[in-house]
Chains A and B, each alone.
Chain A
Amino acid sequence: MLTALALLLAVAVVTPHTTPFLLLLVTRILILAILAMSLDLLLGFTGIASLGHAAFLGLGAYLTAILAVRYEFGLSWDFGLVILFGSLLGAATAAVFGLFALRASGVYFLMITLALSQCVWGLAYRWDALTGGDNGLNLPGRPVLGPIQLGNDAAYFYVVFAFFAVSLLALYVLVESPFGKSLVGIREHEVRMRILGYNTWLHKYIAFIISGAFGGLAGVLWAQVSGQVSPDNVTLTTSVDALLMVVLGGPGTLLGGVLGAGIVLFLREYLSTLVPWWQYVLGGMYVLTIFYLPDGVLGTLRQRRKAAGAPAVGLAPRPVRSEELRINEGGIE
Chain B
Amino acid sequence: MKAKSLCGLAVFAVALAALMASRADADELRIGFLMPVTGPLAQIATDSINGFKMYLDDHKGEFHGATVKFIVEDTQAKPATAVLKAEKLIKQDQVQMLVGGVLASTGYALAPVSTREKVIYIASIPASDNLTQRDADKYPYFARTSWSSSQPSHPFGEWACANGIKKVVTIAADYAFGYEVVGGFQRTFEECGGQIVQKMWPPINLADYAPYISTIKPDADSVFILPVGAGALTLPRQLQVAGIIPKMHLIGSGTSFDEFVLPQLGDEVIGAVSPLHYSAALETPANEAFVKEYRTKFGKVPSYFSESNYTTALMFDAVMSQTGGKWPGSKELLDLLVKIEVDAPRGPVSFDDLRNPIQNIYIRKVEKKKIFGYANDELWNTVIKTYPNVSQFWKFDRAESLKQPPYTRDYPPCKYCE
Main secondary structure of the interface of A (DSSP, over half): helix
B17 pairs with A134, CB closer than 8 A: no
Residues of A within 8 A of B74 (CB): 272-273, 276
Contact with B along A3-47 (1 / 0, CB 8 A): 100110011001001111110110010000000000000000000
With A128-B409, A233-B80 known to touch, is A21 a contact of B87 (CB < 8 Å)? yes
Residues of B within 8 A of A228 (CB): 79-80, 83, 108-109, 112
CA distance A233 to B80 in the complex (A): 8
CA distance A17 to B13 in the complex (A): 10
Tell me, yes or no, whether B81 is within 8 Å of chain A by CB.
yes
B81 pairs with A230, CB closer than 8 A: no
Main secondary structure of the interface of B (DSSP, over half): helix
Most B CB atoms within 10 A — which of A14, A20, A128? A20
CA distance A130 to B405 in the complex (A): 15
B83 pairs with A136, CB closer than 8 A: no
Residues of A within 8 A of B88 (CB): 20-21, 24, 273
CA distance A133 to B6 in the complex (A): 41
Most A CB atoms within 10 A — which of B6, B14, B87, B409? B87
Most A CB atoms within 10 A — which of B37, B112, B408? B112
A19 pairs with B76, CB closer than 8 A: no
A7 pairs with B105, CB closer than 8 A: no
Tell me, yes or no, whether B337 is within 8 Å of chain A by CB.
no
Contact with A along B83-115 (1 / 0, CB 8 A): 111011001100000000000110011011100
Q: Please report the total number of B residues contacting A with Cβ < 8 Å.
A: 38
Q: How many A-B residue pairs have CB under 8 A?
A: 106
With A19-B20, A228-B112 known to touch, is A134 a contact of B105 (CB < 8 Å)? yes
Q: Which of A18, A138, A273 has a CB less than 8 Å from the CB of B13? A: A18
Of all chain A residues, the one with the shortest Cβ separation from B116 is A141
A24 pairs with B87, CB closer than 8 A: yes
A135 pairs with B6, CB closer than 8 A: no
B14 pairs with A18, CB closer than 8 A: yes
B104 pairs with A3, CB closer than 8 A: no
A230 pairs with B105, CB closer than 8 A: yes
Tell me, yes or no, whether B326 is within 8 Å of chain A by CB.
no
A279 pairs with B73, CB closer than 8 A: no
Given A18-B10, A20-B88, A24-B91; 16 other pairs, CB 8 A cutoff: A3-B3, A20-B87, A20-B92, A28-B84, A135-B176, A136-B108, A226-B109, A228-B109, A228-B112, A230-B105, A232-B80, A269-B85, A272-B38, A272-B74, A272-B76, A273-B85
